[in-house]
Amino acid sequence: MGPENFVREGIEDEFINDTEERFVIIGGGIAALSAAQALRKRNRTAKIIMLSEEGNRPYYRPALSDLLSEDLPENRLYVFEQGWYEENQVD
């Protein structure tokens, strides 16, 4: 099997529906972040709020052990920099 056996899918932009809706995502992990990304892709104006008991933005949990055992910079722990949340209006 080579690349000739696969068909590349195009980006779906036909389902964009910009509204003033409010979406509340419960949780602060990778799944919550993926939901926020999917919502923002489909709705550029909706209010997106992520609620989590953790005070941190989503991070790579397996990297916690690396952070403790190595000199891993803390910013490599997080999935996105804080600026991504501001740019995509995710609170």
Any domain includes 14: no
Kindly report, residue by residue over 51-91, the tens digit of the pLDDT: 999 888 898 888 888 778 777 777 788 999 999 999 999 99
Any domain includes 63: yes
**pTM score, whole prediction:** 0.75
Any domain includes 44: yes
**Which domain range does residue 80 map to?**
19-87
DSSP annotation string for 55-73: SS--B-TTHHHHHHHS---
Categorise residue 89: left if φ over 0, alpha if ψ from -120 to 50, beta otherwise: left
What CATH number has the domain bearing residue 33?
A: 3.50.50.60
> Is the pLDDT assigned to residue 11 strictly greater than 70?
no
Kindly report, residue by residue over 35-50, the tens digit of the pLDDT: 999 999 999 999 999 9
> Is the pLDDT assigned to residue 8 strictly greater than 90?
no
